[in-house]
Amino acid sequence: MNSLLSLVTQTMKEGLRSSSLKTCSRWAEHRRVMGAPFYGPYSFKWHPWCREIHDSKAQWTIAMKAAQMGVTETGINRAFFTLDQSKRDVLYVLPTALNASDFSKARFSTALKLSPYLRDLFVDTNTVGLKSTGTNVLYIRGSRGDSNLKSIPVSELVLDELDEMDIHAVWLALERLSGQIEKHILAISTPTVPKYGIHKQYLTGTQEHFNFQCPCCSRWTEFLWPDCVEIIGESGNDPRCKESFLKCKECKHQLPHAGKHEYLKNGVWRPTELQVSADESRSFHINQLYSSTVSPGELVIAYHRGLGDEAASTEFHNSKLGTPFIGDGAQITDAMLDACVRNHSINDPRPKVGGGRLITLGGDQGKTGYLSIVEWLLDRRPGNDINNAAIGKLLWFGKFLEDGWDYVGDLMREFQVLAAVVDADPNVNDARRFARKFQGYAYLTRYRRGQTAKEIHVQEEETGAPIAYVDRTNWLACTLGRFKSNPPRILLPRDISLEYREALKNVVRTYERDATGNMSATYISTGQDHFCHSLVYSDIGLQLASVSSGGEDI
């Protein structure tokens, strides 16, 4: 009898407690239990900036953050809270299927292991990408190559590490909310380059900064680099770096790193963009100066390492400061393009049949196809790298519709093209027919990881169309490097279009950690980039033309 009474009493208490947990932050404090490094019930003691992100009711909540700032746990808590309290399905998207699997096995399983309430909440946790409470479902998916994004109706979407995702899959994930009356999106990421990914979304919101009251002068302020750090030490190896300290940018007094949670605990988010409705889009930015686990000395060492090292500087700005960054030479500029412009025109007379000129065509195809036709002039002995020995002269550029492959064929004859390289997708059947029609002169291509440098691996499909597999990063570096040489090794016509120029500027080099944890270069597109890739394919065509057995004039 006593045990029954105790059970009823406990059930009533639990019901009353659940009814009082109406905000995500309060729910997290009572329902989540954490492991290392902050053991015990979930708390905002070490991450006070996360409370408001938990409780944002905006349709879009955007968190542009430095690494290890507790914001990913915010995404997890919002997912659990929505399932438990709002009784709505949630889609949690990570960059890759492997990321999603690791998240499901590690973060999700750990949360259940440490939190009894959550362990009792879920009735089905056996499937890696799907967790059920009995009435609602948490879907965990990767953004790349995951077709399971197509048929999931949800009203809550979490995009974790947005800048690493396949942008097409992001739009597909957003479409999953289109049939819902109530819908919320939380986008979380460290940024990469300006006006891309999380930074692009951040600019659409309230652009809020975390302010606190200085314990020395009592003025409201915020932590900014370098204003709020006294940099001590001359290099990353200087032991004096550890003497660096935080300071108030208002009164210049030193602020303690140890115990900073005491003067940050009453901090508030303040918007810097007042023309945006907080109901529609709230965006937040936080950097590692606020972190209790990263000392000022560590930040100064990372800063010094970035001096003269583009990869380290990118890591410092993105992961430490939580800000987008473009290193010197990482993006084609108008000045570089102007230096490449010469007096020829895309309307100049066409090559003569049998003239012996080395001309290639590159095509980036889709509903609209984009073409670049380039003549190559050797100014040094080719050796083992003909691309390095050649200067490209852009003879012509233009577009064609998806049913306009006959037009591309006409251009092959008109310009006496020796090698054409066209993107295999999305209209692969049309591309195959084109390649077979110009057998020995035309190739399909796909970017593929694992190729070495400018290595080209050509194989013939069962359809009879040859396809060239190449490494995207190395070939982009080759082609875009032509614009950065002094003098330039690519010559542009005087009537080059603004669209073509913008396509070249929209491809930006940044850095990411590879599977071994090392920083490696990669290129991302901040806008329309089709003409840029058509130029890359023309560059690939040069190598293919140089090793071709030749053929009759076409």
| 416 and 350 assigned to the same domain | yes
One digit per residue, pLDDT tens: the chain, 554 residues? 555 445 444 444 455 455 678 999 999 999 999 988 889 999 999 999 999 999 999 999 999 999 999 999 999 999 999 999 989 989 999 988 888 888 888 888 888 889 999 889 988 777 777 788 888 888 888 887 655 666 677 888 999 999 998 888 888 778 777 777 788 999 999 999 999 999 999 999 999 999 999 999 999 999 999 999 999 999 999 999 999 999 999 999 999 999 899 999 999 999 999 999 999 999 999 999 999 999 999 999 999 999 989 999 999 999 999 999 999 999 999 999 999 999 999 999 999 887 789 999 999 999 999 999 999 999 888 777 899 999 999 999 999 998 999 999 999 999 999 999 999 999 999 999 999 999 999 999 999 877 777 889 999 888 889 999 999 999 999 999 999 999 999 999 999 999 999 999 999 999 987 767 788 889 999 999 999 999 999 999 999 998 763 433 33
| 394 and 287 assigned to the same domain | no
Considering only CA atoms, which of 121, 118, 182 is closest in space to residue 154? 182
436-461 as b/e, with b when 16 or more CB fall inside 10 Å? eebeebbbbbebeeebeebebeeeee
Considering only CA atoms, which of 212, 168, 206, 275 is closest in space to residue 64? 206
Question: What's residue 363's pLDDT?
Answer: 97
81: number of Cβ within 10 Å? 24
| 280 and 339 assigned to the same domain | no
- Domain of 282: which CATH number? 3.40.50.300
| 428 and 521 assigned to the same domain | yes
pLDDT tens digits for range 149-182: 666 778 889 999 999 988 888 887 787 777 777 8
Is 377 inside any structural domain?
Answer: yes
Is 231 inside any structural domain?
Answer: no
- Please give the tally of structural domains in the chain: 2
Is 462 inside any structural domain?
Answer: yes
Is 248 inside any structural domain?
Answer: no
Is 197 inside any structural domain?
Answer: yes
- Domain of 491: which CATH number? 3.30.420.240
Q: Which domain holds residue 387?
A: 334-547
| 399 and 288 assigned to the same domain | no
| 165 and 106 assigned to the same domain | yes
| 273 and 353 assigned to the same domain | no
Does the reported pTM lie above 0.85?
A: yes
| 487 and 416 assigned to the same domain | yes
| 408 and 353 assigned to the same domain | yes
Is 386 inside any structural domain?
Answer: yes
| 140 and 198 assigned to the same domain | yes
Would you list the DSSP string of 351-388?
A: PPTT----EEEEEE-SSEEEEEEEEEEE-S--TT-HHH
Is 290 inside any structural domain?
Answer: yes
| 408 and 339 assigned to the same domain | yes
| 34 and 172 assigned to the same domain | yes
Is 487 inside any structural domain?
Answer: yes
